[in-house]
């Protein structure tokens, strides 16, 4: 609507437990390929560097409304009026000012957001680090399957990735959120997660279960115990890849884990987590590119490529995790933004 190029944003981690050393912002081009983004998103959205500006002093502040009474409709109307009545064309730079510059999930349909995602390509350093972690996981999987009586296969050993949300910051926040919203399907204990993952039908045991978790925010050191026979849990330290993560800031660590989870044969996450929701979004995109339209058949049975599950929502009488895919035709991003248990496999 503004017909403007977006000045390259900084990305920042979001934690409810305010550990300042983990909240440092990182430039977009340290995570994603800048030129590649502009090539892939040409004609839709473009990025520019601050060094491209000719006049840094003539900034026009476009103040956005905020507060509980602020609605999607008022937000959009104010933007339209600013374009019509404001002196926007006289300024090289427009700066959106306000607590919530846009009610972003209200204005964007999922299919448009998907176009942006198609343009996001990780820089080589991060993708190579993720490949090392995936390779280590599959290496352990091959060893499990090379034991006597297991036969042999030329295809890569499969693995399950579980975004296991039991960290300090999450458990504090999710309990408050359950009380405030009256929804009981947000928090999940370690035991509940383990039980539900174990009820996914047709898991090719023995199989490695990678636990994507912020290790430094954990109070529970027993994540590797209590799993069903045939499910072999691994986290960064016992995989021997913690050194890969430690040399990077928190946000890059999350980017590596995002890639590891996205590439997993099976992914299990929490539907109220933005991290989990975006991984399912990516996996749904992959599935649809391969011609599949639904992964919602047969409750807990693995019957398609890139299946995903929500462990915080029980599936029928089996009490296993609910199958999960993104509704790509939804008119709002709310289904893949924070605070949602809207998963299109719920019938």
d(CA 228, CA 208): 12
Inter-residue contact 269 to 280 (CB < 8 Å): yes
Tokens 């297991």, residue located = 150
pLDDT the model gives residue 317: 76
Instruction: Give pLDDT, residue 228.
Output: 92
The CA-based diameter of the chain, rounded to the nearest angstrom, is: 76
Q: What is the pLDDT of residue 259?
A: 97
pTM for the whole structure: 0.87
pLDDT at position 339 is 62
Residue whose tokens read 């009488």: 317
Residue 3, CA distances (Å) to 12, 92, 93 in order: 26, 12, 12
The reported pLDDT for the residue numbered 269 is 94
301-347 pLDDT, tens digit each? 555 788 999 999 888 778 889 999 888 888 877 777 656 677 777 55
Q: What percent of the chain shows pLDDT beyond 70?
A: 82
| 127, 256 Cβ separation under 8 angstroms | no
Reference 274, options 123, 135, 113; nearest CA is 113
Determine the pLDDT at residue 54: 79
Q: What pLDDT is recorded for position 185?
A: 81
Low-confidence ranges of the chain (pLDDT < 50): 299-300
Residues 6+ apart with CB under 8 A from 101: 64
CA dist., res. 332 & res. 110, Å (int):
6
CA distances from 125 to 21, 122, 223, 254 (A): 22, 8, 29, 14
95 contacts 57 by C-beta, under 8 angstroms: no
């Amino acid at each position: 609507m503004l017909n403007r190029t977006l000045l390259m944003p900084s990305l920042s981690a979001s934690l409810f437990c305010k550990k300042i050393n983990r909240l440092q912002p990182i430039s977009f081009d340290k995570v994603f390929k800048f030129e590649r983004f502009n090539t892939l998103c040409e004609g839709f959205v473009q990025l520019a560097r601050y060094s491209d500006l000719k006049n840094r002093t003539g900034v026009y502040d476009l103040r956005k409304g905020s507060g509980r009474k602020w609605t999607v409709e008022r937000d959009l109307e104010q933007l339209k009026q600013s374009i019509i009545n404001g002196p926007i064309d006289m300024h090289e730079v427009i700066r959106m000012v306000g607590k919530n510059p846009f009610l972003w999930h209200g204005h964007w349909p999922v299919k448009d957001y998907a176009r942006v995602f198609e343009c996001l390509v990780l820089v080589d350093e991060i993708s190579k680090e993720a490949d090392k972690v995936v390779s280590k996981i599959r290496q352990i999987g091959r060893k499990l399957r090379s034991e006597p009586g297991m036969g042999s296969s030329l295809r890569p050993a499969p693995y399950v990735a579980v975004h296991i949300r039991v960290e300090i910051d999450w458990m504090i926040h999710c309990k408050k959120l359950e009380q405030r919203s009256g929804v009981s399907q947000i928090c999940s204990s370690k035991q509940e997660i383990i039980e539900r993952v174990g009820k996914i039908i047709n898991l090719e045991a023995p199989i490695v279960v990678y636990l994507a978790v912020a290790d430094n925010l954990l109070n529970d050191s027993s994540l590797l115990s209590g799993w069903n026979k045939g499910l072999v849990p691994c986290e960064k330290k016992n995989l021997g890849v913690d050194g890969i993560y430690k040399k990077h800031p928190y946000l890059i660590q999350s980017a590596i884990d995002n890639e590891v989870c996205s590439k997993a044969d099976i992914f299990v996450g929490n539907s109220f987590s933005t991290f989990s929701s975006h991984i399912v979004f990516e996996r749904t995109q992959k599935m649809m590119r391969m011609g599949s339209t639904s992964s919602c058949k047969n409750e807990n049975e693995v019957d398609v490529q890139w299946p995903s599950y929500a462990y915080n929502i029980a599936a029928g009488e089996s009490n296993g995790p609910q199958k999960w895919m993104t509704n790509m035709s939804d008119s709002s991003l709310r289904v893949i933004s924070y605070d949602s248990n809207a998963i299109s496999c719920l019938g």
